[in-house]
Amino acid sequence: MPVGTAATVKGLTPQDLRDAHAQIVLANTYHLWLRPGRATLEAAGGLHRFMGWDGPILTDSGGFQVFSLESRRSLDDDGVTFRSHLDGSEHRFTPETVIAFQEAIGVDVAMVLDVCVKLPASREQIEESVRLTTAWARRSSAAHASKGTQVFGIVQGGLDAALRERSARDVVELGFPGYAIGGLSVGETRDEMYATARATAALLPPEKPRYLMGVGTVADLLAAVDCGIDMFDCVYPTRCGRNGRAMTHAGEFNIFNAAYVDDFTPLDPACDCAVCRTFTRAYLAHLFRSKEMLGPRLLSFHNVYLLDSLMRDARAAIETGTWRALWQKYSSS
Where among 182, 200, 234 does a domain terminate? 234
Peptide bond into 266 cis (omega under 30): no
Full-prediction pTM beyond 0.75? yes
Report which residue type is found at 278: T
Q: Are residues 262 and 227 in the same domain?
A: no
Task: Tell me whether residue 5 is in a domain.
Answer: no
In a domain, residue 263? The reply is yes
143 and 248, same domain (yes or no)? no
Q: Which CATH number fits the domain that encloses residue 211?
A: 3.20.20.105
Which tens digit of pLDDT belongs to each residue from 238-283? 999 999 999 999 999 999 999 999 999 999 999 999 999 999 999 9
Question: In angstroms, rounded to a whole number, what is the distance separating the alpha carbons of residues 279 and 255?
Answer: 13
Residues linked to residue 152 through DSSP beta bridges, in sequence order: 111
Q: Using an 8 Å Cβ cutoff, are 267 and 244 in contact? A: no
Q: Are residues 48 and 133 in the same domain?
A: yes
What does the alpha-carbon distance between residue 147 and residue 65 come to, in Å, rounded to a whole number?
A: 27
Tell me: do 203 and 187 sit in the same domain: yes
Residue pair 254/288 in contact (Cβ under 8 Å)? The answer is no
Same domain, 37 and 181: yes
As annotated, the active-site residues are: 60, 233
Residue pLDDT, tens place only, 304-313: 999 999 999 9
Q: Return the exposure string of 295-306: e unless at least 16 CB atoms fall within 10 Å of the residue's CB, then b.
A: bbbbbbbbbbbb
Element (H, E) at 323: helix 323-331
Q: Given this model, what pLDDT does residue 333 score?
A: 59
The residue among 226, 166, 170 whose CA lies nearest residue 195 is 226
At 147-161, the pLDDT tens digits run 999 999 999 999 999
Co-location of 159 and 292 in the same domain = no
- Domain termination residue (choose one: 234, 262, 284): 234
Specify the number of domains making up the chain: 2
Q: What is the largest CA-CA distance in the chain?
A: 60
pLDDT at 63: 82
Is residue 274 in some structural domain? yes
Distance CA 53, CA 8 (A): 9
Report phi then psi at 73, rounded to 5: -140, 155
Q: What is the pLDDT of residues 279-304, one digit of tens each?
A: 999 999 999 999 999 999 999 999 99
> Do 82 and 25 share a structural domain?
yes
Domain range for 205 is 14-234
Distances (CA, A) of 89 to 71, 81, 311, 318: 14, 11, 41, 49
* End position of a domain, from candidates 234, 261, 281: 234
In sequence order, what are the residues at sequence separation of 6 or more whose Cβ sits closer than 8 angstroms to the Cβ of residue 84? 34, 90, 91
- Regions of the chain with pLDDT less than 50: none
In sequence order, the 6+-apart residues with CB closer than 8 A to the CB of 229 are 181, 197, 201, 210, 211, 212
Q: What share of the chain is helix, strand, coil (3-state, %, to 5)?
A: 45, 15, 40
Q: Which helix (H) or strand (E) holds 139?
A: helix 123-143
How far apart are the C-alpha atoms of 295 and 328, rounded to whole Å?
33
